[in-house]
Amino acid sequence: MDALPPLQRATSPPPQPRPQPPVPSRRYGVHFSASSFIQAPLTTLLEYSGILRPDPGGGTQQDGAGAGPGEVSIRIVAPGEAGTSSERPEEVIVEEEEEDGHATRTRPEDPSPAAGGGEGGRESSSSYQRYDIQQVARWVEQILPFSLLLLVVFIRQHLQGFFVTIWIAAVMFKSNDILRKQTALKRERKIPVLVGITILFVVHVSGFYWCYKNGDLIRPLMMLPPKEIPPFWHAIFIILVNDTMVRQTAMVVKCLLLMYYKNSRGRSYRRQMLTIVEYFLLLYRALLPTPVWYRFFLNKEYGSLFSSLTTGLYLTFKLTSVVEKVQSFLTALRALSHKDFHCGSYATSEQVAVAGDLCAICQEKMHVPILLRCKHVFCEDCVSEWFERERTCPLCRALVKPADLRSFGDGSTSLFFQLF
């Protein structure tokens, strides 16, 4: 038998890789476009974050439409269709279509027995929850334009109040930063600079109250209620303005203390005095809104019983915060009268001689030495700045007992508004 010639196999050249189109910005399979965000911003963000399932937009694909290149189509064959067995109630047939669109493979996929009613119930519950979230998101999107319109009208009605509040808040933050920098300069502070800062603060406070001399700003400063019942937003404005102006007035006092203790020798009480000024300010600020809210709640138009009840509840709540502020102020006074430091005590000349004349932090001769509870001695300013960041001794790392109250020796002022 003649040998058959070897089969000639036609070899085709290797397929060339197709250039991939640019992939749009997407996450969790959701296209994030500007048009969809403008039309439904909240729904788009929820779909982009994965909380909601994306809406296909064009509905579900019909049978026979086919899948695109490189996609997988899943067809569920139910009982009674051709080619199915009665013993197998249903099977999932996965049809994979290659990119060239010619070869199609069909493989059965048995449903997992673990996928029972429990998972179905959880999926159903999750679908209902997502549906509720989507409905809420659409409701918010419907009322959002109207809400923004109301906000614009509200700002226009109180335009002057908004500008004044933003201005005094910005001046307050900047003034606090300037004062802290001047306090950190220690002996390098210049008296002319402090005098100029003090004059600016005084002019700003005086000019502001002069512009509003016909308003209800002066009476609450003397713990007197306004003559007339203020509307809610007007009461907020009075409290915000007085709270900010009182803090800037306290900054004037702190500038005077910095000028007085600039070149002092011996035991300096600068940090203690700054702390006492701040705690007295906190106490006064806690009392400052009381006359305004007292007049606001004591409104006979709502009935004597209701107005008396709301006024009594407010004064009860206010009393608890005032008692706390009084205790802090008395603690600061007690620390000054006992000549005690918040993390130790002032060192005697014998204790300084034993420890040495040089401060381990600044490496200079000790100025107002402080003896810690671990028996190490440092300068007052040096160790105070250290304890603003740490709670251990700079040398032995021994844990130092936390202070009974916060120290404001760095010249800082509380920036939180006291509204109630």
Predicted local confidence at residue 355, as pLDDT: 82
* Predicted pLDDT of residue 203: 94
Residue ranges in the chain modelled with pLDDT below 70: 1-39, 42, 46-131, 186-187, 262-268, 337-343, 388, 401-404
The pLDDT score that the predictor gives to residue 323 is 93
pTM metric for this prediction: 0.64
> In 279-411, which ranges are E strands?
340-341, 344-346, 369-372, 377-379
Give me the DSSP letters along 381-394. HHHHHHHTT-SB-T
The size of the chain, in residues, is: 420
Buried b (16+ CB within 10 A) or exposed e, 76-104: ebeeeeeeeeeeeeeeeeeeebeeeeeee
CA distance to 68, 186, 199, 271, 418, per residue, from 410 (Å): 69, 10, 21, 7, 22
Given phi > 0 = left and psi -120 to 50 = alpha, else beta, which region is 363?
left
Is residue 249 helix, strand or coil?
helix
**Rounded-to-integer distance, Cα 61 and Cα 66, Å:** 8
Mean pLDDT, the chain, rounded, equals 75
* Model pLDDT for residues 134-159, shown as the tens digit of each residue: 777 778 778 888 888 998 998 888 88
Structure tokens at 293: 């809210």
- What pLDDT does 364 receive? 83
Pinpoint the alpha helices (H) of 101-217: 117-157, 159-184, 191-211
3-state percent breakdown (helix, strand, coil) of the chain, nearest 5: 50, 10, 40
Residue 392 backbone phi and psi in degrees, to 5: -125, 160
Task: Tokens 């606090």: give the residue.
Answer: 176
pLDDT tens digit sequence for 71-98: 455 555 555 544 444 444 444 444 444 4
**Beta-ladder partners of 365:** 358
Strand partners, 340: 345
Q: How far is CA 149 from the centre of its chain?
A: 26
**Residue 256 CB neighbours (<10 A):** 14
